[in-house]
Amino acid sequence: MTFFRTAIEVAADIRRGALSARELTEGLLARIDASDVNAVVATRRDFALEAASQADQAVARGDDVGPLHGVPMTIKDAFAVAGMATTWGEPAFADCVADQDAAVVSRLRAAGAIIVGKSNVHRMLADFGRTANPIHGRTVNPRDATRTPGGSSGGAAAALAAGLSFAEYGSDLVGSIRIPAAYCGVYGLKPTPGTVPLRGFRPPGPVAPGGREFPSAVGPLARSAADLRLALAVTGGPLRPSRRSRLGEFRVGVVLDDPACPVTGDVGAALSDAADALARAGVRIREGWPDGVDPAAQAAAFGFQVEWFFAAQEGREPDGAAEQERRRAALTAAWDRFFGEADVFLCPAVFTTAMRHDDRYRYDDQPFWIAQASLPGLPAVSAPVGGPLPAGLQVIGPAHEDDTAITFAERAADVVGGFVPPAE
């Protein structure tokens, strides 16, 4: 089960000479070649193998090495990687080879990671429910090939679930990290916006003047919450320490369903079982939405923010922007008050488990639950619970306190379970 271990585990073995980075990378590339999931759609074999050999030599010399030294990983095909095409799944960009790394890529490499290839995306990242494009085709869910892995970071989540990568990096505007993480049963983090730089995360071609970054964010996906923490630290800088260290110390708000977007029976059962297990572990749970938060209104207001994001790329500001900013400020203040009395808030990441490829049931409602963290700019982890088609438990934390959400997800895994490899 080497290929389903965490990045932290394999990095530790590489550093102490118990595992060869070269052999690990060769094995990973062989798995990618043999996979029919279509998650990793481009590799740079010679570069990766040479980097892995150099990583082993550095260990043999006793060099100081980074926390991801020798760890082979993939990255979403929306980040520039020098020498590789940045396609965004768009045929017009199929031959657009980057001449320099995105900020995220350069920081991962500085930590010792080996970028072996790129994971598939939906065309122009324009779908949060599936991952398909005219260049590389459709990615399937490793847990059930008849089902979607989500989008637009579906290739990233599927690669981790299938044992084709030890870490991944994606992007989240409308749930494009959290929805695929939930569907594929891995961990995904949307950081507080602005934590990780966006340089090198854009389609090829001239940079449009102006623009607006909120609410877009880039963040890691992994097979453990601890890996999320490490990946965020090396790409975003030092993290504010978690408010709590032990699970029973956390003060937790919980909403597991809402009439505006009811969860399916399997999701409801998995999340209810998880909440019960947390309560038995001593977690102090308070049910209900924070005072001043109307989830349906918040979801609608988030939809406006997304429209504004795209309008800003064209140099436009939609009508009503000022009023929408006032609403967002009021909701942000409500969440700030809530986090004065609680440490995290739990809710679904998405209302269903992975849908079948041809199932468009309630498709447009998928962002309802992710909007609850996105509109106020809060960090949120999607953590896997239940199975064999897992549900996503969304752990929302206070703004700029990403490690509080990560630590809760890490500690919760002891009682609700964590990543489980799919049946092979």
Lateral strand order in the sheet of 284-287: 168-172, 217-222, 187-190, 380-385, 391-396, 344-348, 251-254, 284-287
Give SS3 for 209.
coil
Residues sharing a CB contact under 8 Å with residue 208, sequence separation 6 or more, in sequence order: 313, 314, 315
Element (H, E) at 190: strand 187-190
Q: What is the spatial distance between Cα 335 and Cα 398, in angstroms, rounded to a whole number? A: 8
- Given 20, 165, 176, 242, the catalytic residue: 176
Is 76 designated active site? Answer: yes
DSSP E strand boundaries for 148-222 = 168-172, 187-190, 217-222
Whether residue 405 contacts residue 395, with contact meaning beta carbons closer than 8 Å, is answered with yes
- Given 20, 106, 119, 152, the catalytic residue: 152
Q: What is the spatial distance between Cα 27 and Cα 35, in angstroms, rounded to a whole number? A: 12
Is 242 designated active site? Answer: no
Is 216 designated active site? Answer: no
- Given 76, 165, 224, 374, the catalytic residue: 76
CB atoms within 10 A of CB 300: 16
Q: Which two tokens stand for residue 55?
A: 């990583």
Query: Annotated catalytic sites, by residue?
Result: 76, 152, 176
